[in-house]
Structure 1
Amino acid sequence: MPDTTLSNCVRDAATQAAGLPRRRSVPVSLIAAVAALGGLLFGYDTGIISAALLFIGDTFALDDTVKQIVTAAIVAGALVGCLAAGPAADRLGRRLGIILSATIFAVGSIASAYAGSPLTLVASRLLLGLAVGAVTQVIPVYIAELAPAARRGSMVVLFQLAIVGGILASTIVGWWLGGSGNWRLMFALGVVPAAVLLASMPFLPESPRYFVLKDRLAEAFAILRDVRGSEAEAAAELEAILAQPREDGSWALLFSPKIRPALIAGMGVAMFSQITGTNATIYYAPTILASAGFGAGAALATQLAIGVTIVIATIIGLSVVDRWGRRTLMLRFLPVAAISLVLLSVSFIGGNPTGAARYTAAAGLFGYEIFNIGSISVAIWLVGAEVFPLAIRGKGMSMVALSHWLFDLIVSLTTLTLVAKLGTAGAFGLFALINAAAWLFVWRAVPETKGRSLEEIEASLNEGRFARH
């Protein structure tokens, strides 16, 4: 589009925006924090199963296979939810997508709490999975499209901080209700953050880039003006968005050679965030540690410590992601994660650790959580929300979320079997090698997006210089 035409479009949008009703301005940092509550729901509903599994067997007869199915049900639902959320968010809007997800969260939490059989419990967890998958697609995109480039990293990472905060909350609830074994109340408490998100989202603006996608330029300008606090900044940003080529946004474009580097980067980071072992410890740490002789009570205490550790790790990553950059953060932290897993693996050689070896194992476990979650888990939703062009951002983020949930499902179905076949030392040794492979992938395929606008990233993809370092 010629510069004069662009300027005229922006000028017309500004004129029309002046006639629109003014919404009460909400700081973009508050918008990001409220939207990130969807991550709290994600974290709580995926994390609470670790404690609940210790007590559900008192109500229903569950063998290891059924326990793994109950655990994996939410992930299976998420596979469907994330794929449906992309096209839905492009058609209905990012904000409405979040509202619908919060509604499903509330219904699924209540249904899980009142489940009368293993089958209805699995069905309820599948329903929750639809919402979990949807928020992993729509919330990072929503925040990324509203945030200024200089602070986009930390704002999108608020979603991951909410996820690990939800996991910590689930651990605390499991600890609190462990004495009574009230697993139904554990599930029911998921309604609380869902209600808060539902009550808050109607007061937040839609993504301005979604309005550009729908050719509603006046509304896009009005939102940019309100969140940037300046008509000049709003005009410059809108012009930059409009300057990018307008494409059809089809699935065929997403899988075209031009977009392939972004697809590899986004889906690859998502894959490695799962197969490097993070969720294996979150899902099964109490069970693994109990079988290693720590006892159920000590295992839950360790899970609580892990919850605190991953929150601290995420805060560390959030604090440096806009200063160091996404790529640099992963390249600095992943080697330490691999070394920590080697330490953990060595502790289990010859059998369960005893005496001082238990402290070595704990140090390796917590070191791994800090440096893995503080890097690749911090970057997963951020990289995915940044690298795709506007026309296919919804579909692209669906594929990133699909990669995350597909490999999460594989991990949740195979971790106990992997430990049984390889032993604890062998399993953690394998995860150490995969962390090293993740470092190589980031070094080769992931670009640095620090401080660049979404449109600058899109231009680099269109011009064939996306992954140049």
Structure 2
Amino acid sequence: MQGFSRSPGVDGPLSDAAREGRRKIWRWAGLIAVGGFLFGYDTGVVSGALLFFKQDFHLDRFQQGSVVSVLLLGAIAGALGVSRVSDRWGRRMTLGLEGVVFLVGTVVLVTAQGYAMMLVGRFVLGLAVGAASATVPVYLSEISPASIRGRVLTVNQLLLTAGILVAYGVNLAFSSSGNWRAMFAAGGIPALVLAIGSLRLPESPAWQLAHGQGDRARAMIASVAGESRADEVVERFESTRRSLQQEDDSQRGRSVLLSARVRPALAVGLTLAALQQFGGINTIIYYAPTIIQETGLSASNSIFYSVAIGAINLIMTIVAIRLVDRLGRRPLLLFSLAVMMVMLALLGLTFVAGLGSVLPVVFMVLYIAAFAAGLGPVFWVLIGEIFPANAHAAGSSASTAVNWTSNFVVSLFFLPVVGLIGQGETFWVFAVVCLLGLMFVLRYVPETRNRDFAEIDAELQARAGRRPVSRTSQ
């Protein structure tokens, strides 16, 4: 049933909505994206907590890195496994379950008495983080009209960055006492909101139509698009589903990802997923206080500056929301990668040449701003737009899993690599990755703004040197 989660265009059953309907969609999107907030909070809070629990448990560099990165192993498993749960039980129930898992992981961390329990708690949180990162974009895409699709999809990234900023603020609040358990415990509040709040969400009409719940889907669509248009929307979606059933039924879900038709989209999705992490973003998010502390600042001052970094991340994500449906995806990606590359090169230089404590913070802030204005949100938008209907859920899951796998590799080995080749030299490696990413985007990534899937697919195939698939086959 994965293949019916979307229509042949890049939007869900709702091609448009009335003004009041759009307000409802934005309210639902805000609640859905609490999963993104928890994604950000639980990946960001460890940066400050690490400064204190590493002393309580006498952790060496590898153990510190493993507590940070084991969350990512859980996230890989969560991202890969959630699509079947979501397709069987629905998006709404899946989000509620994810909230419960967030709560369980938080309790384990708050009560941890040693290194092993820290690993268990972070892994459980990772399951929820990975599952939410795969579920939220799919759910948002399925309730979004095309006219606001880009902005709605970036709500997830906005709440993610808000979660990081709040995590940094909580770290700062408890930094004087060193109470790392309270830092983790604060994450239980949004987890409870997600678990309970999911009960107030509607089910995705795409999922309902695909599972024989036409009356319920029609009622939800009527509440958004208006009673007069509900039958038309449902009929169009059902017609799409019938046409998809005429395709090769074996070419659905994960198996279709390796087909010639889907390979260009898969290459873009997986490469951008890896690029987002190997460009160095989460070395800054996870280790910002640790990096700043290396310049000679105290732990409290390091956490204070990391709050500024989190604030810039949030502000620039808001800017991206305003621009993604105006300027397009490619311009934001190209600008983002170019600035990230330059800032990483300069950041590396400050550490190699010992240029003080202020310049590294400035370059980190500008790097974060460039990421948040482009590569950060645009990746999540694109994986909701480039895959055909019968590969949407599987393509999103695969891209998310690669994103988390890359995140795991970078996070686990960042501190050991810094110890081996130096902090500045490590940032230069990330700068080279951004340069390669810039070249990849120029060559292979299509513009998707204001385009239906046929147009997006035609450009994808052309950039890959293949003949585009005909419209009727979509």
* Among candidates 85, 99, 104, match of residue 102 of structure 1: 99
Moved more, 166-175 or 381-390: 381-390
Report the Cα offset of residue 233 of structure 1: 6.5
- Separation in 2, partners of 1:343, 1:151: 37
Equivalence for 1:255: 258
- Separation in 1, partners of 2:272, 2:226: 34
- 1:291-310 aligned within 5 A: 291-310=294-313
* Aligned residue pair count: 440
Moved more, 334-343 or 275-284: 334-343
Equivalence for 1:353: 355
Give the TM-score, by structure 1 length.
0.88
Q: 1:295 to 1:320 in 2, by over 3 A?
A: same
Identity %: 34
CA-to-aligned-CA distance 1:56-105 (integer Å, 9 cap, x gap): 13432211111111111111100100000112212221111111111101
Q: 1:25 to 1:299 in 2, by over 3 A?
A: closer
- Separation in 1, partners of 2:137, 2:23: 18
Equivalence for 2:290: 287
Q: Does 1:160 align with 2:163?
A: no
Equivalence for 1:443: 442
Report the Cα offset of residue 209 of structure 1: 1.6
- Separation in 2, partners of 1:415, 1:91: 38
Which letter maps to 2:85?
A: A
Equivalence for 2:221: 224
- Separation in 2, partners of 1:109, 1:275: 28
Q: 1:262 to 1:216 in 2, by over 3 A?
A: farther
Give the TM-score, by structure 2 length.
0.87
Residue pair 2:142, 2:206 contacting (<8 A) in 1 also: yes
Which letter maps to 1:250?
A: G
Q: Does 1:113 align with 2:110?
A: yes
* Among candidates 299, 315, 320, match of residue 318 of structure 2: 315
Equivalence for 2:10: none
- Separation in 2, partners of 1:409, 1:201: 29
- Separation in 2, partners of 1:274, 1:82: 16
CA-to-aligned-CA distance 1:224-278 (integer Å, 9 cap, x gap): 2222235327624751573352354232112222111111121221111111011
- Separation in 2, partners of 1:232, 1:313: 37
CA-to-aligned-CA distance 1:370-390 (integer Å, 9 cap, x gap): 112220111122111222233
Q: 1:307 to 1:238 in 2, by over 3 A?
A: farther
* Among candidates 72, 77, 87, match of residue 75 of structure 1: 72
Residue pair 1:87, 1:394 contacting (<8 A) in 2 also: no
Which letter maps to 2:88?
A: R
- Separation in 2, partners of 1:375, 1:218: 40
Q: 1:28 to 1:234 in 2, by over 3 A?
A: farther
Which letter maps to 1:302?
A: Y
Moved more, 127-136 or 279-288: 279-288
SS of the residue aligned with 2:352?
coil
Residue pair 1:40, 1:163 contacting (<8 A) in 2 also: yes
Residue pair 1:138, 1:394 contacting (<8 A) in 2 also: no
Residue pair 2:32, 2:198 contacting (<8 A) in 1 also: yes
Moved more, 119-128 or 297-306: 297-306
Equivalence for 1:27: 24
Equivalence for 1:380: 379
Report the Cα offset of residue 187 of structure 1: 1.1
Q: Does 1:89 align with 2:86?
A: yes
Q: 1:205 to 1:84 in 2, by over 3 A?
A: same
- Separation in 2, partners of 1:376, 1:220: 34
Equivalence for 1:135: 132
- Separation in 2, partners of 1:241, 1:363: 53
Q: 1:254 to 1:138 in 2, by over 3 A?
A: same
- Separation in 2, partners of 1:364, 1:60: 33
Moved more, 157-166 or 387-396: 387-396
Residue pair 1:254, 1:392 contacting (<8 A) in 2 also: yes
- Separation in 1, partners of 2:134, 2:223: 25
Q: 1:238 to 1:28 in 2, by over 3 A?
A: farther
Equivalence for 1:19: none
Which letter maps to 1:445?
A: Y
Kindly report the root-mean-square deviation, in angstroms, between the aligned alpha carbons of the 2 structures. 2.4
- 1:409-424 aligned within 5 A: 409-424=408-423
SS of the residue aligned with 1:176?
helix
* Among candidates 56, 69, 76, match of residue 59 of structure 1: 56
SS of the residue aligned with 2:294?
helix
Which letter maps to 1:418?
A: V
SS of the residue aligned with 1:292?
coil
Equivalence for 2:193: 196
Q: 1:461 to 1:438 in 2, by over 3 A?
A: closer
CA-to-aligned-CA distance 1:294-323 (integer Å, 9 cap, x gap): 232222122111111111121111110111
- Separation in 1, partners of 2:407, 2:430: 14
Report the Cα offset of residue 326 of structure 1: 1.6
CA-to-aligned-CA distance 1:123-152 (integer Å, 9 cap, x gap): 111111100000010100000111111111
* Among candidates 331, 338, 344, match of residue 347 of structure 2: 344
Gaps of 5+ in 2: 1-12, 14-20, 470-474
Which letter maps to 1:194?
A: A
Residue pair 2:445, 2:460 contacting (<8 A) in 1 also: no
- Separation in 2, partners of 1:311, 1:420: 31
Moved more, 287-296 or 112-121: 287-296
Gaps of 5+ in 1: 1-12, 14-23
- Separation in 2, partners of 1:62, 1:345: 27
